[in-house]
């Protein structure tokens, strides 16, 4: 399947001496390295021979291989980053010399920011988006984040559904990890997910955090299914796990920075209202979420108590994955008032401030839009959006527009 990150990778290689592809394990980083030209040499630090070759003397290795080098799972060799800085500075103005990938390592961002600041472009990869599974180009909706939303009414007319409801539901149920899509068997998917979680906890996290209580962290990871889509109360979670509140915060930071969990901070810029300032979070992939919740099929999903939260997380990830694949800078938040008013996603960037409400239903009643109406008025937003399962895109009010998920 063609990845939408390919164009961004090519663009960043042309502009920067080093590009870092970061993302959750098994999202396709190694595969996209294989699309680099024949002049590129690829090394995998999970392969013993490659690790020995580079780790023996990273500075010498990079002097002998000064360009067109791709190094997979770079977080396994922290001494690589200062060596990369030296190698890049020896010929600072030459772009397209190194590509590195990394996963499951909170320290990786720190190492990049400390050693390679100003020398590296970061691309955050994710599993497949819905449009990628449909072999479609990204929607015109995402073009507007770059070109502007000056005529939102005209844009809405272009956002008709591009897929059938059953195709959307299949993606929602299965999630975006490539392997289950390639094998496409329920028995394989179940076994793959089990192995994936065990590898994440027993190998990746254990290797990066040898002092971590592995049993407690495994229990925490399985709790994430029930916590996905909720406001996070660290004190309650700490009591349930039998650990301290700082430990729980550390667990969430590990999960977020290893890309399996997304923590959305609260948008709390409104002095006139009492706001909920706790963060909200989601498992980033609904296939993994449904595995944790032991949801076997679509019928069980549609009747499950977590159905609405699962749909909300899937829509949020679809939007953010598409923004990341284009290299569009943004900040993502959730919004909730003490009185219960809520906006599921608030995006802020050079494109402005965009509040987004997410509904699984096809029909949206006006009373359900009140939180969005108040947010638009309080923050002087030009418009707000509702993402749902309608059969067409349409205006709901003069400033609120509905877009079917299949139109994204």
Q: Give the pLDDT of residue 186.
A: 86
Question: Are the CB atoms for 333 and 339 separated by under 8 Å?
Answer: no
Mean pLDDT of all residues belonging to the chain: 93
CATH topology of domain 5-124: Rossmann fold (3.40.50)
Q: Give the pLDDT of residue 271.
A: 62
The total of other beta-carbon atoms located within 10 Å of residue 6's CB is 12
Q: Give the pLDDT of residue 372.
A: 96
Mind listing the pLDDT tens digit for each residue in 91-119?
Answer: 999 999 999 999 866 667 777 877 888 89
Mind listing the pLDDT tens digit for each residue in 30-48?
Answer: 999 999 989 999 999 999 9
Question: Are the CB atoms for 16 and 121 separated by under 8 Å?
Answer: yes
Q: Looking at the predicted structure, is the pLDDT value of residue 272 above 70? A: no
Q: What angle do CA 5, 355, 350 make, to 5 degrees?
A: 55
Q: Give the pLDDT of residue 112.
A: 82
Q: Is the dihedral of CA 112, 118, 124, 125 positive or negative?
A: negative
The residue-averaged pLDDT of 78-95 equals 94
Please state, in angstroms and rounded to a whole number, the distance separating the CA atoms of residues 95 and 120.
Answer: 10
Q: Give the pLDDT of residue 55.
A: 97
The residue-averaged pLDDT of 340-347 equals 95
Q: Give the pLDDT of residue 2.
A: 83
**% of the chain exceeding 70 in pLDDT:** 98
Please state, in angstroms and rounded to a whole number, the distance separating the CA atoms of residues 108 and 99.
Answer: 14
Q: Give the pLDDT of residue 202.
A: 82
Mind listing the pLDDT tens digit for each residue in 125-183?
Answer: 999 999 999 998 888 999 999 999 989 999 999 999 999 999 999 999 999 999 999 88
Instruction: Report the run of H or E that residue 371 belongs to, with start and end.
Output: helix 370-379
Domain ranges of the chain: 5-124, 130-407
Q: Give the pLDDT of residue 137.
A: 84
pLDDT band at 273 (very low <50, low <70, confident <90, very high): confident
Q: Looking at the predicted structure, is the pLDDT value of residue 1 above 90? A: no
Instruction: Report the run of H or E that residue 257 belongs to, with start and end.
Output: helix 245-257
Q: Give the pLDDT of residue 351.
A: 96
**% of the chain exceeding 90 in pLDDT:** 82
Mind listing the pLDDT tens digit for each residue in 329-342?
Answer: 999 999 999 888 89
Please state, in angstroms and rounded to a whole number, the distance separating the CA atoms of residues 339 and 380.
Answer: 20
Q: Give the pLDDT of residue 31.
A: 92
Q: Give the pLDDT of residue 106.
A: 65
Q: Looking at the predicted structure, is the pLDDT value of residue 407 above 90? A: yes
Q: Give the pLDDT of residue 205.
A: 84
């Amino acid at each position: 399947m063609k990845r939408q990150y390919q164009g961004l990778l090519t663009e960043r290689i042309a502009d920067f001496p080093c590009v870092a592809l970061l993302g959750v394990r098994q999202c396709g980083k190694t595969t996209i390295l294989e699309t680099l030209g024949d002049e590129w040499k690829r090394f995998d630090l999970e392969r013993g021979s490659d690790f020995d070759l580079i780790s023996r003397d990273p500075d010498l290795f990079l002097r002998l291989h000064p360009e067109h080098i791709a190094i997979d799972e770079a977080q396994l060799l922290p001494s690589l980053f200062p060596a990369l800085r030296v190698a890049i500075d020896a010929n600072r103005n030459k772009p397209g010399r190194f590509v590195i990938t990394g996963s499951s390592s909170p320290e990786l961002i720190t190492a990049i920011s400390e050693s390679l600041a100003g020398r590296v472009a970061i691309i955050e990869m994710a599993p497949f988006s819905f449009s990628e599974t449909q072999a479609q180009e990204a929607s015109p909706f995402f073009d507007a984040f770059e070109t502007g939303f000056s005529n939102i009414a005209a844009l809405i007319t272009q956002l008709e559904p591009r897929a059938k409801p059953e195709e959307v539901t299949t993606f929602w149920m299965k999630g975006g990890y490539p392997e289950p899509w390639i094998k496409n068997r329920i028995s394989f998917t179940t076994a793959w997910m089990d192995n994936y979680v065990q590898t994440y906890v027993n190998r990746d996290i254990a290797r990066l955090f040898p002092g971590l209580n592995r049993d407690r962290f495994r229990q925490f990871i399985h709790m994430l299914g029930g916590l996905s889509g909720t406001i996070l109360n660290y004190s309650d979670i700490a009591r349930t796990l039998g650990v301290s509140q700082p430990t729980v915060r550390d667990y969430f930071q590990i999960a977020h920075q290893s890309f399996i969990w997304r923590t959305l901070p609260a948008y709390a810029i409104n002095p006139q209202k009492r706001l909920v300032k706790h963060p909200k979070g989601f498992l980033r992939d609904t296939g993994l979420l449904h595995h944790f919740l032991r949801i076997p099929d679509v019928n069980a999903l549609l009747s499950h108590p977590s159905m609405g939260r699962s749909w909300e997380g899937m829509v949020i990830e679809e939007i953010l994955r598409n923004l990341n694949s284009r290299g569009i800078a943004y900040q993502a938040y959730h919004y909730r008032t003490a009185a219960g008013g809520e906006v599921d996603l608030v995006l802020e960037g050079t494109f402005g401030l965009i509040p987004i409400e997410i509904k699984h239903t096809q029909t949206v009643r006006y009373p359900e839009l009140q939180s969005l109406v108040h947010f638009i008025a309080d923050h002087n937003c030009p418009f707000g959006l509702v993402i749902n399962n309608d059969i067409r895109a349409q205006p709901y009010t003069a400033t609120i527009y509905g877009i079917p998920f299949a139109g994204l």
